[in-house]
Amino acid sequence: MAEIVIVPGEAEAGDLVADAIVDLIHRKPDAVLGLATGSTPLPIYRALAQRIRDESVDVRGVRGFALDEYVGLPAGHPESYRAVIRREVVEPLGLTPELVRVPNGDPAGIEHAGADYEAAIVAAGGVDLQILGIGRTGHIGFNEPGSSLASLTRVKTLTEATRLDNARFFDSPDDVPMHCITQGIGTILRARHLVLLAFGEAKADAIAAAVEGAVSAAQPGSAIQLHPHVTVLVDEAAASKFENLAYYRHAWANKPAWQGI
């Protein structure tokens, strides 16, 4: 079972994950991070940037792979995930830009962009720690309901619900691209440690289905149940639909001191 951690707020979640990432980098200076975009991971990137500065953590060898990218945004568009990852992750953390990759959403060559990305992840030795958010539709990456649990990086069509949710980053909902290129669920499951975060009541149904529902392509987040090392961090509002809430609190309160997340 995934370890479920109920945190008082986003900042505490960010601190816990930043601790785990700093430990990982100390053990493995060329660690491979799986990077999510959107609002959810921002507390991690903030906490991590602070730790790296305060403790002079050497991150020059750290590598990264973004989960997904829109297809067809003009090069340099500020909401392309290439630009977002540079702005919110590479620059504040001081990562080496050439070591951080984002799927190529350029329509020219899109037919082999998925396979190229998979090959790059394999060549890097796989992802050590994958950061994940979850959409209201239950998607992880941009694997919308119905995505194969064995899928690899490929082009997907976004649901209208996801396009509406992401319209906040664009001038109008119509400007949100219809297509994306995303790591598949099979790709995500190959990472060695999955860290899934959800904050706020709007995510409560999706995260409960992911953690406690049946494993099903209809609920892409439920694929985490197939993975041996998953940490789920939620605030009280996102935790409000869990049936086993009392047990999750009990297990966390009695967690052995030697065990990290």
Which residues are catalytically annotated? 68, 139, 144
Work out whether 186 is an interface residue with ligand F6R (CB under 6 A).
no
Work out whether 15 is an interface residue with ligand F6R (CB under 6 A).
no
Query: 């985490």: which residue's tokens?
Result: 224
Work out whether 185 is an interface residue with ligand F6R (CB under 6 A).
no
Are the C-beta atoms of residues 59 and 155 closer than 8 Å to each other?
no
Residue in 30, 126, 115, 117 with CA at minimum distance from that of residue 68: 117
Sign of CA dihedral 139, 79, 158, 100: negative
For the bound state, the minimum distance from the C-beta of residue 123 to ligand F6R, rounded and expressed in Å, comes to 22
Q: Which helix (H) or strand (E) holds 229?
A: none
Work out whether 40 is an interface residue with ligand F6R (CB under 6 A).
yes
Closest to ligand F6R by CB, 49 vs 181, is 181
For the bound state, the minimum distance from the C-beta of residue 94 to ligand F6R, rounded and expressed in Å, comes to 21
- Rounded Cα distance between 230 and 134, Å, is 14
For the bound state, the minimum distance from the C-beta of residue 163 to ligand F6R, rounded and expressed in Å, comes to 11
What Å distances lie between residue 112 and 119, 141, 144, 154, CA to CA?
Answer: 11, 19, 21, 9
For the bound state, the minimum distance from the C-beta of residue 58 to ligand F6R, rounded and expressed in Å, comes to 26
Size of the site for ligand F6R (CB under 6 A): 14
Are the C-beta atoms of residues 226 and 149 closer than 8 Å to each other?
yes
Closest to ligand F6R by CB, 58 vs 160, is 160
- State the residue number with the nearest CB to ligand F6R: 133
Work out whether 82 is an interface residue with ligand F6R (CB under 6 A).
no
Backbone angles phi, psi at 24, to 5 degrees: -60, -45
Segment interacting with ligand F6R (CB under 6 A) among 49-57, 139-147, 148-156, 227-235: 139-147
Work out whether 138 is an interface residue with ligand F6R (CB under 6 A).
no
Write out the two tokens for 225.
């149940």
Work out whether 248 is an interface residue with ligand F6R (CB under 6 A).
no
Work out whether 38 is an interface residue with ligand F6R (CB under 6 A).
yes
Work out whether 151 is an interface residue with ligand F6R (CB under 6 A).
no
User: Which residue in 15, 68, 88, 128 binds ligand F6R (CB under 6 A)?
Assistant: 68
Residue in 30, 249, 188, 261 with CA at minimum distance from that of residue 124: 30
Sign of CA dihedral 144, 72, 62, 38: negative
- Rounded Cα distance between 111 and 155, Å, is 8
For the bound state, the minimum distance from the C-beta of residue 243 to ligand F6R, rounded and expressed in Å, comes to 23
CA 162 to chain centroid: 16
Angle between helices 10-27 and 42-54 (to 10 degrees): 50
Segment interacting with ligand F6R (CB under 6 A) among 11-19, 34-42, 49-57, 101-109: 34-42
Which residues contribute to the site for ligand F6R (CB under 6 A)? 36-40, 67-68, 133-135, 139-142
